[in-house]
Amino acid sequence: MSPILSLSPDEISGLFPGYFRLNREGMIEAVGPVLTRRTRDSFIGRPFMSCVEVTRPRGISTFADLQTCRGQLIIRCPDAAGIVLKGVVLQRDDTIYICAGLSVDVSGQSSGSYRFEDFSMADSTLETFLAADLRRNLLIEAQELATSLTEARNRAEAADKAKSRFLADVSHEIRTPLNGIIGIADVMAHGELSSEQAGRLRLIRSSGRTLERLLNDLLDLAKLENNRLQLEPVRFDLIAEIRDTLGPVEALARVRGLDFIFNLESMSQDHVVADPIRLRQVLSNLGFNAVKFTQKGSISVSVARTGDKVEISITDTGPGLTDDAMSRLFGRFEQADNDVSKRYGGSGLGLTLSREFARLMGGDLTVSSSLGKGSRFTVTLPLPPAPPVMTAPASPPPRGTIRPTAGAGIRGLVVDDNPTNLEILRVMFDAFGIEIDFADGGRAGVEAWEKNRYNLILMDLQMPDMNGLDAVRMVRRLEAGWEPGEERTRILMVSADATEEAIAESLAAGADGHLAKPLRPESLFRAVWSLF
């Protein structure tokens, strides 16, 4: 007898869990545990060939064919949940063994229905099977992690949006009354005042402007934090811009008895493409800081170009900074309570913002200082030279207070739902001798205009019933039906939103100009005069 037949049923089961033992006639005498566990009707006593399908090798259809088969056998067992077995035929004396184990489909889903006993101890089918199962699970785990990360990110973004929205709303709410204070104080400054009153008014105005700057800085910071601050590059003359920006700084320096030195390395014109507004913010912030902390000596500004790089330095002969103070100078949230910021005044965010702007423009802002001697702030920016803009030189904007000779001929309408704004404008227009009517909403505005044919409208952008853009469009549509030769209505849109987008939208709707809040008497009347 050959050794294999002397194995116990348990031992055979361990090696070939899907075995069949057949007698000479091909009747099943015993089966392995995989099969017992899966059939309700026992295989025992039934003819093997009618219980299974031999799928490999091809052409085995009778028990006689099976007995001569020497290759690898693949059989499917419809009566045992369709499992597939793989094995060989061994014939000893009167007994035939189909020595087989599970051939599992590792992509299958039904792994839970298998048991360890279904797998041979002598091969690695179980390992392969578990490996497939565990890998599948790893993928699911990775997906779950990715989903939870995405959700967390979405939540954070939503919170960020809510924060920005809140900031925008709050600053809008603050801006309106603040505009009232500043606007009316500005108008009062044009009137007759005792020197004491004038002094107090100066305080109101400068406090108001400080608050306004703080508000703007906070908004800029919020935009920077959300990566929503967009640069608006245009082509301009760098040298003229620097001179223009630092003009007021120079004036203040001279008043304080300081020397102010421009060192332009014989650069006269240098056209570049960049965001002049942000550049202005950086330079004027550095300039005013320098003046503020320098008791005697000088402020010098130098501009130097090396290839595509421009370096602008502002050097003072002030007290200088300790290493520790320098390291904290640009920190974002530290300023509010450390003494560096107290000394540097303002919102305390100026330097933080300046560095952020410089970096946003692809450059940097650095400081070097020696205690007792002074400090140097250096802005380095990549600003490749650009060809100059080919336009006729614009006439310089009028400076100082504008006193219209007469408001005659202007019949104005102010459309705004906010009573404070209405009041400020009333005071301003009064001061300039222009009579004006009011409407407290878009719809009311259009109606009043139809009735009285005003030739000037100041239209607020955000109003609950009909917004400014729609109201302007309606006015323009109605105008289109007028007799030829009628005087066209001049419309100025008034909005806190002074982005290029907002301005373009106002003009597209049919406005003749766009005024940014807060309104100042000068800018208001310059805009009005330019239309008449």
Partner 1 sequence: MYGMVHRAARELAILRHGESKWNAIAETAGVSEREFISAEVFTDAVTISIVSAVADADGSPIDRTLLELGRHWIDFAGRSAYSNVMSMAGDTLPDFCRNLDRMHTSIQATMPDAIMPSFEVEAQDEAGLTLIYRSQRTGLETFVQGLLEGLMERFKVEGTVARVDDSHPIRFRLTYKSA
What is the Cα 384 distance to its own chain's centre?
A: 28
The CA-based diameter of the chain, rounded to the nearest angstrom, is: 132
Q: Which is nearer to partner 1, 108 or 384 (CB)?
A: 108
Per DSSP, 27 falls in state B
Give the torsion sign (CA, 462, 467, 473, 477). Answer: negative
What would the two tokens of residue 27 be? Answer: 């009747």
Q: Which is nearer to partner 1, 81 or 145 (CB)?
A: 145
Cα separation, 429 vs 390, in Å, equals 38
Cα separation, 526 vs 532, in Å, equals 10
Binding site for partner 1 (CB under 8 A): 111-112, 114-116, 121, 124, 126-128, 130-131, 133-135, 137-138, 140-142, 145, 148
Provide the minimum distance between the beta carbon of 331 and partner 1 in the complex, in angstroms, as a whole number. Answer: 24
Q: Which is nearer to partner 1, 91 or 128 (CB)?
A: 128
Provide the minimum distance between the beta carbon of 159 and partner 1 in the complex, in angstroms, as a whole number. Answer: 16
Q: Which is nearer to partner 1, 135 or 296 (CB)?
A: 135
Q: Which is nearer to partner 1, 145 or 162 (CB)?
A: 145
Cα separation, 143 vs 151, in Å, equals 12
Q: Which is nearer to partner 1, 61 or 113 (CB)?
A: 113
Q: Which is nearer to partner 1, 146 or 508 (CB)?
A: 146
Provide the minimum distance between the beta carbon of 163 and partner 1 in the complex, in angstroms, as a whole number. Answer: 21
Provide the minimum distance between the beta carbon of 154 and partner 1 in the complex, in angstroms, as a whole number. Answer: 17
Provide the minimum distance between the beta carbon of 30 and partner 1 in the complex, in angstroms, as a whole number. Answer: 21
Provide the minimum distance between the beta carbon of 108 and partner 1 in the complex, in angstroms, as a whole number. Answer: 11
Provide the minimum distance between the beta carbon of 114 and partner 1 in the complex, in angstroms, as a whole number. Answer: 6
Provide the minimum distance between the beta carbon of 137 and partner 1 in the complex, in angstroms, as a whole number. Answer: 3
Side chain identity at residue 209, one-letter code = R
Provide the minimum distance between the beta carbon of 18 and partner 1 in the complex, in angstroms, as a whole number. Answer: 16
In degrees and rounded to multiples of 5, residue 521 shows phi and psi of -50, -45
Q: Which is nearer to partner 1, 7 or 121 (CB)?
A: 121
- Non-local (6+) Cβ contacts of 68 within 8 A are none
Could you write out the DSSP letters of every residue in 271-295?
Answer: EEEE-HHHHHHHHHHHHHHHHHH-S
Provide the minimum distance between the beta carbon of 138 and partner 1 in the complex, in angstroms, as a whole number. Answer: 5
Three-state secondary structure string covering 435-479? CEEEECCHHHHHHHHHHHCCCEEEEECCCCCCCHHHHHHHHHHHH
What would the two tokens of residue 254 be? Answer: 């001279």
Provide the minimum distance between the beta carbon of 87 and partner 1 in the complex, in angstroms, as a whole number. Answer: 21
- Non-local (6+) Cβ contacts of 421 within 8 A are 176, 179, 180, 414, 460, 494
Q: Which is nearer to partner 1, 126 or 365 (CB)?
A: 126
Cα separation, 15 vs 122, in Å, equals 6
> What is the residue whose two structure tokens read 């900074």?
321
* 513 backbone φψ class: left, alpha, beta (φ>0; ψ -120 to 50): beta
Provide the minimum distance between the beta carbon of 37 and partner 1 in the complex, in angstroms, as a whole number. Answer: 10
Burial 183-218 (b: 16+ CB within 10 A, else e): bbbbbbbeeeeeeeeeeebeebbeebeebbebbbbb
Cα separation, 100 vs 3, in Å, equals 17
Cα separation, 384 vs 274, in Å, equals 10
Q: Which is nearer to partner 1, 116 or 408 (CB)?
A: 116
Q: Measured between alpha carbons, how far is residue 301 from residues 263, 368, 471 in Å? A: 6, 15, 49
Q: Which is nearer to partner 1, 33 or 319 (CB)?
A: 33
Q: Which is nearer to partner 1, 81 or 277 (CB)?
A: 81
